[in-house]
Amino acid sequence: MSKTKKYWTGLDQLHNTPEFQERAENEFAPEATAEHLLESDNLDEGSTKRRDFLKFLGFSVGAATLAACETPVVKSIPYLNKPEEITPGVPNYYASTFFDGTDYASILVKTREGRPIKIVGNKKSKLTSGAVNARINSSVLGLYDSARAAGPMKGGEATDWATVDAEVGAALANLGEAGGSIVILTGTIISPSTKKAVAEFAAKYGEGVKHVTYDALSASGALEANEACFGVKALPSYDFAAADVVVSFGADFIAGFPNGAANAVGYGKMRSPKGGKMSRHFQFESNMSLAGSNADVRVAIKPSERAAAVISLYNKVAFATGGNALGGETTEYDATILKATNELVAAKGKSIVICNSNDAGVQTVVNAINNLLGNYGSTLNMANPLYIKGGVDSEMDQLVADMKGGKVGALLIHGVNPSYSYGNAADFNAGLAKVGLTVSFADRLDETAAGVTYLAPDSHYLESWNDSEAQAGSFSLTQPTIQPLFDTRQFQETLLKWAGNDSDYYSYIKTNWADVHKSSPDAGLLFNDFFNTALFNGVFESGTVGETPAFVGDVAAAASTIKKVATGDFELELYVKAGTGDGSQANNPWLQELPDPISRVTWDNYITMSPKQMKEMDFSRLERGDFMANVVELKLNGVTITAPVYPSPGQKYGTVGLAVGYGRTASGKCGDEVGVNAYPLSSGSFLVGAVSSIEMVFDEDGDPLVYEIAQTQSHHTLMGRGSILKETTLEEYKQNPKAGNPDLLLYVSSAGGSGHGDDHGDSHGEEGHGDGHGNEGAAKEEHASPFLPASEVNLWADHAIATGHRWGMTVDLNTCIGCGACVTACGSENNVPVVGKQEVRRGRDMHWLRIDRYYSSEMTDEKAEEEGIGTIDKFTLMETAAETPQVAYQPVMCQHCNHAPCETVCPVAATTHSNEGLNMMTYNRCIGTRYCANNCPYKVRRFNWFQYYNGSQDFSKNPANDELGRMVLNPDVVVRSRGVMEKCSFCVQGIQAAKLKAKKAGRKVDNEEVQTACAEACPTNAIVFGDLNDTESWVAEIAKDERSYHLLEEVGVQPNVLYMTKVRNVEENEA
């Protein structure tokens, strides 16, 4: 019935063709391959049909188009295997060591995702106590300097290490066999392993090898004096924290001096008047130095008078302590010297006399004074001396003579740049040309390296291993924090290689440290544990105290050898700036843009002169509208320097100053052609004596040649506004800790009640303070009196500030020495752009934190009243600084006002208040009306006038505009675009990180956990940051101090930053 239906899949099956049968058996038919097609015979004949042609066309065009579009490659490559110690977004800190021949610091290097981005002090070091200065914390940018040599060079052409090794090795071997003279010229070496490597090298090449140490900033005189007095060729380490009286003859011991940052720590400790006791500081100098600006008594003297002043002090101290006096030197400063003597003798064993003279005779007399005062063994440590200066000028002079005489066969130069910094650089260069084999280990083709045959570039210290012994018994280690960025090799490794030792330097150090280990108190530990602990800590301080050597100096003989400093109408003394130092970091734009603490000038050096003398010589004193300095020609010993002349109140009349470290010609784009090179004037000594002439330079039209000076502060006096920078004297402070800082009481029409939000709150009252007022009493009588404390007069509803965190800061005007370490630290942490000289000159520096420097003026309110001077004349006279002014520093950053005037005026609410007391800036929301900056009473807001990175204008000096320099940027802080406002954020990224960390750990944020970059960098702890609501925090404790006050309290903005009255340790007639 049913008929089987037959279903078929196609006609092939129906017909059951042989092809079908074949295919049915072969289940997996072979694919048609390209080969198959190509093999077919009729391919050539096959015509392309119209449709095919269009398909091919479409495909080709499509493929070509796609190929032409480059897919953006986001070069963020995640770790395949996450390294154990690196978590993206979390910084790692590595202990290391900075040493550049003058500055020494045990440091921590902050790295992010394998990039070093910031340098902070290592508090574990007893020698430096975590102190860093601007040069040290800016040195991280040197790593990302595109002017560094990318690899070894021969005759200015790139080559490879194998060639250099082979050729130099052969040349050295020849010289060694022939007994030729091979000289290794280095800066001071404090690394025991490096010394050993040098010795190994010397051993290999025989007797002819000589190691010459040369310091651009020489301490030769002091070294020779110490050798004569103690048999130790080293500098004493100073303990300023134990010094009640400091007398300095020209020594800028907190800035340009060896180990200055560490000295500042101790000095700062003694400058706090807490407990009614602070140190007393006398300074005798010609230029206004950073130390001099902080001195209680500063006497301006000529360089030629310095030796006499030192001898006069010696005689007086000797008279008081029973020593032998020298020949009767008297000076016109004897009254002050006598006063200093009395105080020194009263503080016997607790004083320091210090001098920057490079004359061994003067330094011997200074040593003798310290010896008479019993300072050795207490404030001056000769038992464990400092090794950070080792160069003796005569050795270098001898080397140059030998070179010129053709006696040197090979010269290997490391860490120094004599073609730039040697006084008689022409002689050095002439000699260099006569040396057969010349090798430089410089990191770039600098002035000296340009004259050598081989450049064997040393790695940056952040890429290197090293060890050091800056002070006897104080060891520290340097470890690499990044792979070498370029084809560079450590100097030590190169030297070892040439000495035939192929071991890497890391192993070499470890081997050497076996000796340190054996002689250390930790000898019981396994070596690896010992070494790794030292590496982790960065320091190993054995704690062994050496024996103080006996003083055996012959003062009388030494005094007779003191070289006379030539006198004249002008005497020149060179000095070292807090930013640029000896010029080795001249290509660091952060340092170039750091305003000089005294002059507030950036990107230049200049001849400093007494304003009085400038007026007499009719030079522009850059007052009011003047912004052009006159250019002068200074002639000294046949050397002519053309430089602008700049007024420096406090400069001794008849003297001029000039900073070294400028006028580089081969440092890179930031350092070249900035300022003039002062080293040719120096001839090994900073006291350079008489200037034969200073003359104004004229242009072709006969007009005085002028020069634009870029200063970040163009008004230098307080204009009688004492409430901005409150001051008192120690005597008054002892009687009343609130001296100089009376409560500011405002008159209100109907006092009483809380004052909060009252209508009468805004009444601009009279300032109710006056020294006669019993301030505390007035506060108690608040209800009866129509006076209210300024902090309670209030137009606005308060923020809820009593709960949670309230971040705040205190700035102690007493301990702030004005060094600028905070400014560069802030820039490094917050990616603050470098804008260059022209923009600074236009008043557009971008620093979030500035250190205002004020000179006192001879005109005061009291004087005007006494002498019946009218108000207008008074203010005009107040604009001029005194000839010998008192100096005060005031760091100013965003005050994070609780009633911030910037917040109310922003039309788009781009700046707002956080519930933790921060004044926050939302860059993304900012439209750039600048109203906030106008309405800021502190003028701390900074506007991005241009696109400072990747913009159309030339801001090539800004690190963010450089492929390499960009690597230094802190990834936690956004780089701001043009047209937006920026300002200090209290390092909110750090606050946030600490809060997250605490939250994850389920605990409160620790007191010390959150630090702003400035507070962290401050060597004297003048800036303290923390939670004002945390009663246990340091900042809360300081905020309660009688000295603390709010800047411009009467404006009623209620800042979260407090300043502490400056207390000067001066007697009435000195003030």
Should residue 123 be labelled a site residue for another protein when binding is judged by CB under 8 A? no
Nearest-angstrom CA–CA distance, 66 and 13: 45
DSSP summary character for residue 48: P
Should residue 786 be labelled a site residue for another protein when binding is judged by CB under 8 A? no
Residues 958, 948: contact at Cβ < 8 Å? yes
The order of strands in the sheet holding 807-812 is: 1023-1027, 807-812, 1057-1060, 1044-1045
Should residue 795 be labelled a site residue for another protein when binding is judged by CB under 8 A? no
Among positions 205-264, residues that touch another protein (CB under 8 A) are none
Nearest-angstrom CA–CA distance, 172 and 154: 16
Among positions 349-408, residues that touch another protein (CB under 8 A) are none
| Stated length of the chain | 1071
Task: Report the DSSP beta bridge partners of residue 889.
Answer: 853
Tally the C-alpha atoms within 13 A of residue 953's C-alpha that lie toward its C-beta: 12
Largest CA distance in the chain: 151
Q: Could you say which of 692, 713, 1007, 1044 contacts another protein (CB under 8 A)?
A: 713
Q: What is the Cα 622 distance to its own chain's centre?
A: 27
For residue 943, the minimal CB distance to another protein (Å) is 7
Q: What would the x/- binding string for another protein be over residues 12 to 51, using CB under 8 A?
A: ----------------------------------------
Q: Could you say which of 927, 996, 1001, 1071 contacts another protein (CB under 8 A)?
A: 927
Should residue 718 be labelled a site residue for another protein when binding is judged by CB under 8 A? yes
Nearest-angstrom CA–CA distance, 716 and 611: 13
Three-class secondary structure of residue 1065 per DSSP: coil
CB count, 10 Å around CB of 736?
Answer: 14
Residues 949, 958: contact at Cβ < 8 Å? yes
Phi then psi for 121, rounded to 5 degrees? -75, 155
For residue 892, the minimal CB distance to another protein (Å) is 7
Should residue 974 be labelled a site residue for another protein when binding is judged by CB under 8 A? no
Nearest-angstrom CA–CA distance, 453 and 433: 10
Three-class secondary structure of residue 823 per DSSP: helix
Nearest-angstrom CA–CA distance, 116 and 483: 11
Q: Which is nearer to another protein, 633 or 767 (CB)?
A: 767
Three-class secondary structure of residue 430 per DSSP: helix
Q: Could you say which of 909, 996, 1001, 1071 contacts another protein (CB under 8 A)?
A: 909
Residues 692, 613: contact at Cβ < 8 Å? no
Burial grade of 26 (CB within 10 A; 0-12, 13-18, 19 or more) = exposed
Nearest-angstrom CA–CA distance, 986 and 822: 12
Residues 609, 648: contact at Cβ < 8 Å? yes
Q: Could you say which of 302, 460, 837, 942 contacts another protein (CB under 8 A)?
A: 942
The stretch among 353-361, 390-398, 913-921, 923-931 that binds another protein (CB under 8 A) is 923-931
Q: Which is nearer to another protein, 756 or 925 (CB)?
A: 925
Should residue 934 be labelled a site residue for another protein when binding is judged by CB under 8 A? yes
Amino acid at 464: S
Should residue 1059 be labelled a site residue for another protein when binding is judged by CB under 8 A? no
The stretch among 6-14, 416-424, 965-973, 1047-1055 that binds another protein (CB under 8 A) is 1047-1055
Using CB under 8 A as the binding criterion, the count of chain residues that bind another protein stands at: 70
Q: What is the Cα 162 distance to its own chain's centre?
A: 37
Should residue 628 be labelled a site residue for another protein when binding is judged by CB under 8 A? no
For residue 931, the minimal CB distance to another protein (Å) is 6
Nearest-angstrom CA–CA distance, 264 and 258: 11
Q: Could you say which of 407, 734, 978, 997 contacts another protein (CB under 8 A)?
A: 978
Q: Which residues contact 852 (CB under 8 A, 6 or more apart)?
A: 713, 889, 890, 891, 892
Q: Which is nearer to another protein, 392 or 984 (CB)?
A: 984
How far, in Å, are 40, 79, 951 from residue 52 at the CA level?
A: 18, 47, 50
For residue 768, the minimal CB distance to another protein (Å) is 11
Nearest-angstrom CA–CA distance, 910 and 921: 6
Token pair recorded at residue 610: 């007494």
Phi then psi for 708, rounded to 5 degrees? -85, 125
Three-class secondary structure of residue 562 per DSSP: coil
Using the CB atoms, write b or e for 424-450: b if 16+ within 10 Å. bbebbbebbeebbbbbbbbbbbbbbbb
Should residue 798 be labelled a site residue for another protein when binding is judged by CB under 8 A? no
Should residue 937 be labelled a site residue for another protein when binding is judged by CB under 8 A? yes
Token pair recorded at residue 530: 């010992």
Q: Which is nearer to another protein, 349 or 928 (CB)?
A: 928
Should residue 1045 be labelled a site residue for another protein when binding is judged by CB under 8 A? no
Q: Which is nearer to another protein, 945 or 1034 (CB)?
A: 945
Residues 256, 217: contact at Cβ < 8 Å? yes
Should residue 761 be labelled a site residue for another protein when binding is judged by CB under 8 A? no
Angle between helices 360-372 and 220-230 (to 10 degrees): 50
The stretch among 661-669, 698-706, 920-928, 993-1001 that binds another protein (CB under 8 A) is 920-928
Should residue 434 be labelled a site residue for another protein when binding is judged by CB under 8 A? no
Q: Could you say which of 321, 542, 947, 956 contacts another protein (CB under 8 A)?
A: 947
Q: What would the x/- binding string for another protein be over residues 841 to 860, using CB under 8 A?
A: -xxxx----x-xxx------
Should residue 1030 be labelled a site residue for another protein when binding is judged by CB under 8 A? no
For residue 951, the minimal CB distance to another protein (Å) is 8
The stretch among 94-102, 507-515, 812-820, 925-933 that binds another protein (CB under 8 A) is 925-933
Q: Which is nearer to another protein, 82 or 925 (CB)?
A: 925
- Between the CA atoms of 434, 439, 444 and 450, what dihedral angle is there, to the nearest 10 degrees? 20
For residue 1047, the minimal CB distance to another protein (Å) is 8
DSSP 712-767: S----B-TT-TTTS-EEEHHHHHH-TTTT----EEE-SS--S--TT-GGGG----B
Q: Which is nearer to another protein, 374 or 979 (CB)?
A: 979
Q: Could you say which of 717, 810, 880, 1061 contacts another protein (CB under 8 A)?
A: 717
Q: Which is nearer to another protein, 299 or 834 (CB)?
A: 834
Nearest-angstrom CA–CA distance, 704 and 48: 85
For residue 813, the minimal CB distance to another protein (Å) is 13
Q: Which is nearer to another protein, 618 or 766 (CB)?
A: 766
For residue 272, the minimal CB distance to another protein (Å) is 24
Should residue 935 be labelled a site residue for another protein when binding is judged by CB under 8 A? yes
Should residue 639 be labelled a site residue for another protein when binding is judged by CB under 8 A? no
Q: Could you say which of 366, 980, 1024, 1063 contacts another protein (CB under 8 A)?
A: 980
Among positions 588-627, residues that touch another protein (CB under 8 A) are 624-625, 627
Q: Which is nearer to another protein, 868 or 907 (CB)?
A: 907
For residue 766, the minimal CB distance to another protein (Å) is 5
Q: Which is nearer to another protein, 905 or 993 (CB)?
A: 905
The stretch among 213-221, 261-269, 370-378, 870-878 that binds another protein (CB under 8 A) is 870-878
Q: Could you say which of 374, 761, 789, 979 contacts another protein (CB under 8 A)?
A: 979
Token pair recorded at residue 339: 């006063």
Should residue 767 be labelled a site residue for another protein when binding is judged by CB under 8 A? yes
Residues 580, 134: contact at Cβ < 8 Å? no
Q: Which is nearer to another protein, 719 or 779 (CB)?
A: 719
Q: Could you say which of 151, 349, 761, 901 contacts another protein (CB under 8 A)?
A: 901
User: Which residues contact another protein (rule: CB under 8 A)?
Assistant: 624-625, 627, 713-721, 724, 764, 766-767, 839, 842-845, 850, 852-854, 871-872, 875-876, 890, 892, 901, 904-909, 925-931, 933-935, 937-939, 941-947, 951-953, 977-981, 1048, 1050-1051, 1053
